[in-house]
Chain A
C-alpha cells in the first residue's frame, strides 16, 4: 500500500483494518481446501502463500504502478497482512510475456503498453500537480485516473495518441480484477463458493448456502466519502465494451 484513503470516512465509519471485508463474516474458502482435489489445492494455496518477486518493472516503474493499483483496486479497508497481491501478479504476466491470445491492431504489445502508460501517468502528474504520481494525494491521484477512466486524459499526453486510452484502461482493470478476484480472500469477501470438486454443490436454487457456506449478513457499506471511484449512475448506463473477454456460452 502506498497511501491509505484515511482519514476519510468509509464503511459507515473509519476505514478499518479488516481481516475480511464483505457481507459474509466468518466465511472462509481456504478452510474448505481439504475437500478440493490436489491440483486445485496446490494452485490456490500457492496463490495465498507465495508472492512472486518484481522482475519485469524497474523499481521506479513499480512504485508508480503500485500507487495506480492502490487506487483502481483499493484495499485500504484490508488489514496489511490480508492485502491481496496485484502488482506481483501483473509483473509476473509481463515478465513471462504471457499473452491473452491477441492484440488489438491499434495497441502496442502488452509490455510496451504498460511502459508507455507508466511514463504518461508520471508526466501527467508532473504537468498537472508538479509532483510524482506516487507522492500525490489520493484525491489528485484519483483525478488523473478518473480522466483515463473517462477516456479524456487530463492533461493530454502524447502516449494516448499512440494507444487508445480506453483499451489501456480496460487491460489495466482486467489485470487488476484478475489478480484480486482470483484470490481466496476475495472469494470470502464476496461469498463465492470456490472450488467444489469432488464434492459439488447441492443447493442450486434460491441463493441458499451450502452447509459450509455462510448466509449473507448485510450492513450499510460506503466507500470513502470523497472517493471519485465510487459508482456513479451515469457511468453504469450505455457503455460499450472496449475489451471483450471470456464468452460463456
Chain B
C-alpha cells in the first residue's frame, strides 16, 4: 500500500536519505506549521535540507481515525509541568507531534492579524511593537491563502479587508447560531470561513465532506496541514523528513556558530546531524526547551539567550467556551468546527476599560470534549452528566478568542523532571494580569449575550485558553528579544527560530496563517542571502522581496480575489 496523504494524494517516493556524516545546508527541527513551509521552500530553492521530526510520519489512511479517543496520539503527550496562578492545560490543547505538527489537528480557522497588531505599543501603550509591519507580511498572507488554500467570504470586513480564493462553506447549525445572535444585536459576522478547508476540490485534494472531525486530523485531505500541502512538494525536491527524531541539543562550535543537531532516533540512540545552519521550529514550548537544554560553555543560560528573554513573554489566547441549549435540534457535530466568526470587538475601545480585544468564533466539540466542558461549565457528574449529554444535540457552542498581552512572568523554563531520553522537560508558568482579566470578563459576557440573543434557553461557560505563542520573541533590540525580524537569533548568526514562538504579540486571530506566512518570508530571506548565512556574521536586514515561483503545485496565482 502506498503511503496515503488524504483520500487521493500519496507520498512521493522514494524520499532522499542523507548519509550519516553528510553535511547539509539546513537542519530544521520540527515539521509543523512553520517547519513544513520552510522545508518546502528551502528544498525547492535547491538547498540540502534535513528536517527532524520527533513524532511519526503519518499515513492518514492507516494512522488516523474518525474518532475522538482514537486520535490521542496526534498530540504532544509527553510530560510537561504546568503552573502559575492560571495554569494552562497542555497536551491536546496545544501542539502536535508528528509530521504536520499542530496543523494536523488545528481547526484551520485562518484569519489574518490586523494592521494594528503590529503596533500595539504605539497605538495602545501595551505589549510591544513588531519589528515589521502588516504591510511587510501582507503579500505572504495572500500567498499562503492560496497555498493552503483558504475558503471564506468574498468580503472580510475587518482589519485590512480582503477576500478569499475559495468560496465559503455551506452554513452549519452552529454557524447559524452565531450569525443569528450577532444579527439580533447588530454585530457584523461572516460565515463559511475564513478557514483553510477546501470548499471545492483542489489538485489532488478533495473537498470537505462536513464530517466535523477536523481536530482529529482530516482523513479526507480537505483541511490544510503542512503534511499534505507542503511536505510532499518538499520531498519531490529532495528534502529528507526524518521522523521519530527527537532533537536533544543544538551543537555550538568554538567560533560561536552552530554546526549541527544531536537527536535521539527511533531506537533511542543518540545521533548527530551536521548542518551549516539550524532552524528551530518546535512550537512555543519545545523551541525554548531545546535552546535551554542546549546550554554549553559560553551559553550558560541556553542558546540565543544573552538577553535573558528566551522562554519569557509566552502568550496564550483566552478561549472561553460559551454553550447554549436550544429548544430545537442543532447537531453541533456536523461540518467543520471552524465556521463563522465576528471580529467586531477586535480593536481597542477605550470605553471598555482595557486595551485590545477579542474575536467570537464557532467551536464544535464532539461528545467527549463536550462532556468535559460540562464537567467544568456545569459541574455535571453522575445523573446530571447523563442528562445534559442526552441533550447534546440541542447545544451549540461559541468561543471567545481574546488577546492576552505578553508578560515577562509567563514563561517556559526547565523542570526537574526528565523525559524518556533523560532530557529535562518544560515547565510552563502562566498568570493572568489585570488587563487580561478585564478583557476575558467582557468577552465572556458579550458572547453569552450573543448566545441568549440567538434564542438559547440556557447559557453556561467554561474558561480556558488556546494557542500558545511567544517565548522566543522577535524584536529590533537584542537586549529585549531573541531573534530579529527574519527569525535569526541575535546571538548566533547561523541559528534561526521560525515558528509561533517568535510572535511578539498575538492579536485575537488564530495564529496558524500568520505563522506560515512568516515562515515563507523567512525562507525568502534565507534564499536571498544564499551562502552568506553559512559563512558571514554580517546581518543584512533588507527585505528579500517575495518569491512567487516557489509555491507548491496547483497554487501559483490561483484565484485570489482582488478587491479594492
Is B389 on the interface with A (CB-CB < 8 A)?
yes
Report whether A205 and B77 are in contact in the complex, using a CB–CB cutoff of 8 Å: no
Q: Are the CB atoms of B328 and A207 closer together than 8 Å?
A: yes
* Partner of B176 from A39, A100, A181, A205 at Cβ < 8 Å: A205
Asked whether B68 lies within 8 Å of A40 as measured between CB atoms, the reply is no
Known: A101-B90, A102-B90, A204-B170. A245 touches B328 (CB 8 A): no
Docked complex Cα distance between A13 and B375 (Å)? 27
Q: Which of A180-202 contact B (CB under 8 A)?
A: 180-182, 186-187, 189-202
Tell me the minimal C-beta distance from B492 to chain A in angstroms: 30
Does chain A have a CB within 8 A of B384?
yes
Q: A22-B390, A101-B90, A236-B379 are in contact. Are A249 and B363 (CB under 8 A)?
A: yes
B163 at the binding interface (Cβ < 8 Å) = no
Q: Kindly state whether residue B107 has any CB partner on chain A within 8 Å.
A: yes
Which residues does chain B contribute within 8 Å of A204, judged by CB atoms?
Answer: 170-173, 210, 334-335
Q: Does B480 contact A (CB under 8 A)?
A: no
Taken together as a complex, chains A and B put the C-alpha atoms of A209 and B331 apart, in Å, by: 9
Contact stretch, chosen from A54-62, A123-131, A152-160, A224-232: A224-232
Q: In the complex, what distance in Å separates the CA atom of A21 from the CA atom of B391? A: 12
Instruction: Known A36-B66, A230-B387; judge A244-B89 contact (CB<8 A).
Output: yes
B181 within 8 A of A: no
Most B CB within 10 A of own CB, among A47, A186, A229: A229
Q: Report the bound CA distance from A204 to B173 in whole Å.
A: 6
Q: Across the interface, which residues of B come within 8 angstroms of A21, CB to CB?
A: 386, 390
Q: Does B88 contact A (CB under 8 A)?
A: yes
Against A, the Cβ 8 Å flags (1 = close, 0 = not) of B314-347 are: 0000010100000011110111011000000000
A residues in contact with B69, CB < 8 Å: 47, 178, 182
Given the complex of chains A and B, what is the CA–CA distance between A44 and B67 in angstroms?
8
Q: Which residues of chain A come closer than 8 Å to B92, judged between CB atoms?
A: 100-101, 245-247
A170 to B462, CA, bound (A): 13
A193 near B331 (CB under 8 angstroms)? yes
Contacting pair A207 B464 (CB below 8 A): no
Contact between B372 and A201, CB atoms less than 8 A apart:
no
Q: In the complex, what residues of B have CB within 8 A of residue A247's CB? A: 92-94, 319, 464-467
**Interface flag for A43 (CB, 8 Å):** yes
- The answer to the question of A136 belonging to the interface, with a C-beta cut-off of 8 Å to chain B, is no
Task: Determine whether B377 belongs to the interface, using a CB cutoff of 8 Å to chain A.
Answer: yes
How far is A72 from B383 in the complex, measured between Cα atoms in Å? 8
- The verdict on A207 contacting B375 (CB below 8 Å), with A39-B65, A240-B463, A243-B89 known, is no
Q: Does B28 contact A (CB under 8 A)?
A: no
Q: Are A200 and B209 in contact (CB under 8 A)?
A: yes
- Once A22-B390, A37-B61 are accepted as A-B contacts, the answer to whether A227 and B319 lie under 8 Å apart by CB is no
Is B89 a contact partner of A201 (Cβ separation < 8 A)? no
Enumerate B97-153 residues with CB–CB distance to A below 8 Å.
107, 109
A161 at the interface (CB under 8 A from B): no
Question: Does A142 touch B at the CB level, under 8 Å?
Answer: yes
Q: Tell whether, in the assembled complex, residue A221 and residue B369 are in contact, meaning their CB atoms are under 8 Å apart.
A: no
Interface assignment of B353: CB less than 8 Å from any CB of chain A: no
Task: Note all chain B residues with C-beta closer than 8 A to A149.
Answer: 379, 381
A80 at the interface (CB under 8 A from B): no
Bound Cα distance A210, B70 (Å): 24
* 8 A Cβ contacts from A78-98 to B: 98
Q: Which residues of B contact A244 (CB under 8 A)?
A: 88-89, 93, 376, 462-465
Kindly identify which residue among B78, B387, B510 contacts A223, using a CB–CB cutoff of 8 Å.
B387
B393 engages A142 (CB within 8 Å):
no
Residues of chain B from 384 to 427 with CB closer than 8 A to chain A in the complex: 384-390, 392-393, 397, 399, 401, 427
Report the bound CA distance from A105 to B427 in whole Å. Answer: 9
Do A196 and B211 have beta carbons less than 8 Å apart?
A: yes
**Alpha-carbon distance between A200 and B333 when the two chains are bound, in angstroms:** 12
Using CB atoms, name the residue of chain A closest to B377: A239
Docked Cα-Cα span, A157 to B468, in Å, equals 37
Given contact pairs A102-B79, A142-B382, A190 touches B389 in the complex (Cβ within 8 A):
yes
Interface size in chain B (residues, C-beta < 8 A) = 100
Query: A190 and B393 in contact (CB under 8 A), knowing A39-B61, A39-B63, A204-B170?
Result: yes
**What's the Cα separation between A74 and B79 when bound, in Å?**
31
Distance (whole angstroms) from the CB of A222 to the closest CB of chain B:
9
A221–B93 touching, CB < 8 Å: no
A206 touches B387 (CB 8 A): no
Q: Is A216 among interface residues, defined by CB-CB distance under 8 A? A: yes
* Interface flag for B81 (CB, 8 Å): yes
B375:A173 contact, CB within 8 angstroms: yes
Instruction: Quote the shortest CB–CB distance from B167 to chain A (angstroms).
Output: 15
Q: Are B210 and A105 in contact (CB under 8 A)?
A: no
Contact A201 B377 (CB under 8 A): no
- For chain A, the bracket of interface size reads 35 or more
Say yes or no: B381 contacts A224, CB within 8 Å. Answer: no
When C-beta atoms are compared, the residue in chain B nearest to A247 turns out to be B466
Which of B61, B375, B379 is A174 in contact with, Cβ under 8 Å?
Answer: B375
Chain B, Cβ-Cβ closest to A149: B381
B502 to chain A, nearest CB (A): 21
A204 to B362, CA, bound (A): 14
* Binary CB contact string for chain A from 52 to 74 against chain B (1 if under 8 A, 0 otherwise): 00000000000000000001111
- CB neighbours of B388 from chain A (8 A): 231
Task: Decide if A236 touches B378 in the complex (CB within 8 Å).
Answer: yes
Q: Select which of A103, A186, A193, A202 is within 8 A of B79 by beta carbon.
A: A103
Does B64 interact with chain A (Cβ within 8 Å)? yes
Q: Are A192 and B67 in contact (CB under 8 A)?
A: no
Is there an interface contact between A192 and B89, defined as CB atoms closer than 8 Å? no
* CB pair A197 B213 closer than 8 Å: yes
Q: Which single residue of chain B is at the shortest CB-CB distance from A241?
A: B376
Could you say which residues of chain B place their CB within 8 Å of the CB of A105? 81-83, 87, 427
The closest CB in chain B to the CB of A207 belongs to B329
> How near does chain A come to B413, taking the closest CB pair, in angstroms?
11
Q: A200-B210, A235-B378 are in contact. Are A248 and B390 (CB under 8 A)?
A: no
Residues of B within 8 A of A203 (CB): 334
Question: Which of B's residues lie within 8 Å of A, judged by CB?
Answer: 7, 61-70, 72, 75-83, 87-94, 107, 109, 170-173, 176, 209-213, 215, 219-220, 319, 321, 328-331, 333-335, 337-338, 361-373, 375-390, 392-393, 397, 399, 401, 427-428, 458, 460, 462-467, 510
Query: What are 29 A-to-B residue pairs whose CB atoms are below 8 Å?
Result: A21-B386, A40-B65, A74-B382, A74-B386, A100-B91, A102-B79, A104-B87, A105-B81, A149-B379, A173-B372, A177-B385, A186-B389, A194-B66, A201-B212, A204-B170, A206-B329, A207-B328, A221-B387, A229-B382, A231-B388, A235-B379, A236-B379, A240-B376, A244-B376, A246-B93, A246-B372, A248-B399, A249-B337, A249-B399
Instruction: Report which A residues bind B (CB closer than 8 A).
Output: 21-23, 36-40, 43-44, 47, 71-74, 98-106, 142, 145, 149, 170, 173-174, 177-178, 180-182, 186-187, 189-209, 216, 221, 223-224, 227-232, 235-237, 239-249
3 closest Cβ pairs, A-B complex:
A229-B382, A101-B91, A207-B329
